Structure 1
Amino acid sequence: MSKSAKFLLIGSTEAYSGKSATVLGLSYQLQQQGLDIAYGKPLGSFLSESEGNLVEDDVHFITKSLNLPNSRLVPTLFVLSELAIQKRLVGEDQVDYQDTLAKQYLQKTWGDLVLLEGAANLEEGSLFDLSLLQIADTVDASVLLVVRYESLLSTEAIISAKRRIGDRLIGVVVNGIPPVQLPAVNTTLRPFLEAQGIRVLGMLPESDLLRSVRVGELVKQLNAEVLCRSDRLDLMVESLAIGAMNVNSAVKYFRKRHNMAVVTGGDRVEIQQAALETSTQCLILTGQLPPPDFILNRAEELEIPILSVDLDTLTTVEIVDKAFGQVRLHEPIKVHCISQLMTEHFDVNRLISILGLTPATAAK
């Protein structure tokens, strides 16, 4: 390993905390400082084919977004799956993954900094001796923890993680703070954590755009039939509205929302009409009742897809809601958004100083 290469492991206490977004936003800032970075995800979760090779989805997207050359792409050791766990449990897989990790990660020159994206939480990968702490110990990595803000009780998860990770924890990013709560969180949570020896490197406000879901993703999750405008499935849905009230209430409700998916019965024509005239990105009709032609024609004009699902309203809403909670980063508009958020709300100079890196911009 080149003596200048350092490892930074981005971890979290729970899934969907914003690790990939943090990696991406941070990488842009580091590249702007002239640092030579590499990126990888030791434990994969989603594989797809790229140029004849199987590549972890997030790794493929992030390396493409960052224009990283192959020499800065750190290999994924394996994909964590039910099958992989079963093989480990019955003794079919007896690989020493810490040894594999050391050989593949430490015996190569990677540049100035290797950013590694951790698994869903602190424990995941333990069965293979590749939990967050085990990876950090094997490659001598510093840890940056991303925590999704729920309430001030999120403090407890951070304190608990600090006790477990110890001195390897060089800082935290608190993510998804409602903008109205940001000043209060800044004056309570930040000084408290700093006083406990936990550096707060970023406090990122919640973003509807980052939580948004492509209409095409909803089609897939709901197994929906697209009744019109299948060419507009790239529209981004930021909020969910349920059209179950009377039409006057619905109009007032819809006008307060932005870039909605509206779930309503196929027989609720007046609700469908009201939705089409407000900030709606797609109509999701339950009950498999086709809308009248004038609704389809209006949706065609306004370029709003209409989806039909063979599900009841409650199940439909649950699936859409889950899609918001597990949203992934793979949209160019989100890349721009996270770059802006990290530039405004993350202290990259403090991180560089903690890691002892010398930016090329400073070296000049």
Structure 2
Amino acid sequence: MPKSVKYLLIGSVETYSGKSATVLGLSHQLQQRGLDIAYGKPLGTCLNISAGTVIEEDVQFISHSLNLPENRVLPTLLPLNEVTIHKRLRGEDKTNYQQSLKQEYLQQSPGDLVLLEGAANLSEGKLFDLSLLQIAEVLDAAVLLVGRYESLLSIEGLLSAQQWLGDRLIGVVINQIPVEQLESANSLLRPFLEQQEIPVLGMLPKSDLLCSVSVGELVKQLKADVLCCSDRLDLLVESLAIGAMNVNSAVKYFRKRRNMAVVTGGDRVEIQQAALETSTQCLILTGKLPPPAFILNRAEELEIPILSVDLDTLTTVEIVNRAFGQVRLHEPIKVQYITQLMTEHFDIDRLLSQIGLNPAAALS
């Protein structure tokens, strides 16, 4: 392995923190600097089985978004799911995955920098000797951690991670900071972490767009029937509204929101009508009651999908909220936005300095 190849492992303290978004935004800047990058995700956690083949969706999406040639996409060593875990626990899988990691990731010379995406948290993969720290040690990789901002208490997970990772941790990105809390995060959180020798390389404001979920994803999660506009399932939903009040209150409520999914009873025709005339991306009707023809016709005119679910309102709302918490980045508009966000709020020069990469030297 040529000594010039560097490995950067992007991990997180908890799931859905924004690792894939960070990889994409970072990769774009690295490519602009003329660096030859490769990408890999040793543990498969976003799996789709198609025609008998297991596809790691993040790997497929990111390699496609970055236009990476095949020799710059490193293989996923195993899918992390119930089947592989059972085999390991029963002793049927005795594979030395650290050896596999060395063979697949170190015996090639994939460019200047290999970006690796970790699993959900610091310990996931430990059963296979592929926790975040174990991968970093086998590959002599630097670690960049992505943390989701919940409150100032978010600092505790990062402090624990520093203790766990030691000198391998070269910086953190703090993600999804509500705009109204950016000032306190910058004036309190950033200087404190820097004092603890945790470089803060990026602080990203929360974005409704990045937290949005497609109507198609809601259809899948809710096992919904699509009553109209099945060609508009790529619409992005940024907020959820529940149409359980009287129609006058509902109209005022709906007008304050944008790009929403409205959950209401199949029998609440006046609420359905009000929702269609405001910033609604889809109507979700509970109770398996079909809407009247004029509602379907109006929805068709406005190109707003109507979904029907065999669930009560509370269960429907819980599933939709969970979908918002597990948002993936697989829409081109989100890729454009995260690229812009990272360009504005991430210190790429400091990162390159931390990992000892000089773009000018890489180009020569």
TM-score (norm. length: structure 1)? 0.97
Tell me the alpha carbon deviations over residues 89-113 of structure 1, each in whole angstroms, 9 at most, x when there is no partner: 1110111111111111111101110
Task: State the partner residue of 1:255.
Answer: 255
CA 36–317 in structure 1, closer or farther in 2 if over 3 Å, else same: same
| SS of corresponding position for 2:194 | helix
Pair 1:136 & 2:136 matched? yes
Q: Does 1:83 align with 2:83?
A: yes
Name the counterpart of 1:95.
95
1:274 CA displacement: 0.7
Equivalence for 1:309 = 309
Q: CA deviation at 1:49?
A: 6.8
Aligned to 1:26: 26
| Counterpart for residue 200 of structure 1 | 200
- Match of 2:40, as an amino acid? G
Displacement of 1:354 in angstroms is 1.0
Pair 1:178-2:178 in alignment? yes
CA offset digits 1:1-31 (Å, max 9, x no partner): 1211010000001110000000010000100
Aligned to 2:284: 284
Consecutive unaligned residues of structure 2, counting only runs of 5 or more, are none
1:350-361 → structure 2 map (5 Å cutoff): 350-360=350-360
Q: Deviations over 1:183-203 (max 9, x none)?
A: 221011000000110000000
Structure 1 residues 209 and 202: alpha-carbon distance in aligned structure 2, compared to 1, 3 A threshold: same
C-alpha RMSD of the superposition: 1.5
CA contact (8 A) 2:226 2:308 kept: yes
Letter of the 2:160 partner, please give it: S
Higher mean C-alpha deviation, range 189-198 or range 54-63: 54-63
Residue type of the partner of 2:121?
N
Aligned AA (1:318): E
Residue equivalent to 1:68: 68
Kindly report which structure 2 residues correspond to 1:314-333, keeping only aligned pairs within 5 A, or say none.
314-333=314-333
Deviations 1:233-288 (A, max 9, x none): 11111100000011111111101101000000011111111100100000000011
1:240 paired residue number: 240
8 Å Cα contact 2:8-2:141 kept in structure 1: yes
> Would you say 1:223 and 2:223 are equivalent positions?
yes
Structure 2: distance between partners of 1:46 and 1:160: 26
1:10 aligns with: 10
Amino acid at match of 1:223: K
1:271 alignment counterpart: 271
Q: Mark the CA change 1:236 to 1:106 in structure 2 (over 3 Å): closer, same or farther.
A: same
> Aligned to 2:152, what secondary structure does the other structure show?
coil
Which 5+ residue runs of structure 1 have no aligned equivalent? none
Q: What is the CA-CA distance between 1:361 and the residue it aligns to? A: 8.8
Aligned CA distance change for structure 1 residues 51 and 359 (closer, same or farther; 3 Å): farther
Question: 1:271 and 1:206 mapped to 2: Cα distance?
Answer: 30
**In structure 2, what is the equivalent of residue 344 of structure 1?**
344
> What residue identity is the alignment partner of 1:323?
A
Would the aligned equivalents of 2:285 and 2:306 in 1 still touch at CA under 8 Å?
Answer: yes
Q: Does 1:112 align with 2:112?
A: yes
* AA at the equivalent of 2:299: A
2:25 is aligned with what amino acid?
G
Secondary structure at the aligned position of 1:211 is classed as: coil
Q: Distance in 2 between matches of 1:21 and 1:12?
A: 12
Match of 2:322, SS state, is helix
Could you list the per-position Cα deviations for residues 20-58 of structure 1 after superposition, in whole angstroms to 9, with x for gaps in the alignment? 000010000100000010000000023347899643110
Query: Structure 2 CA distance, aligned partners of 1:161 and 1:117?
Result: 16
Query: Is the 8 Å Cα contact of residues 7 and 113 (structure 1) preserved in structure 2?
Result: yes
Percent identity of paired positions between Structure 1 and Structure 2: 75
Distance 1:222 1:81 in 2: 22
Q: Deviations over 1:291-348 (max 9, x none)?
A: 1111111111111011110000000000111011001011001100110110011001
Residue 205 (structure 1) shift: 0.7
TM-score for both structures, normalised by structure 2: 0.97
Whole-angstrom distance in 2 between the partners of 1:131 and 1:243: 45
Equivalent in the alignment of 1:55: 55
CA contact (8 A) 2:34 2:363 kept: no
In the alignment, residue 328 of structure 2 is paired with which amino acid? R
Paired amino acid for 1:156: E
SS of structure 2 residue aligned to 1:289: coil
- AA aligned to 2:278 is T
Structure 2 Cα separation of the partners of residues 68 and 167 of structure 1: 30
- Identify if the C-alpha distance between structure 1 residues 46 and 230 changes in structure 2 by more than 3 Å, giving closer, same or farther: same
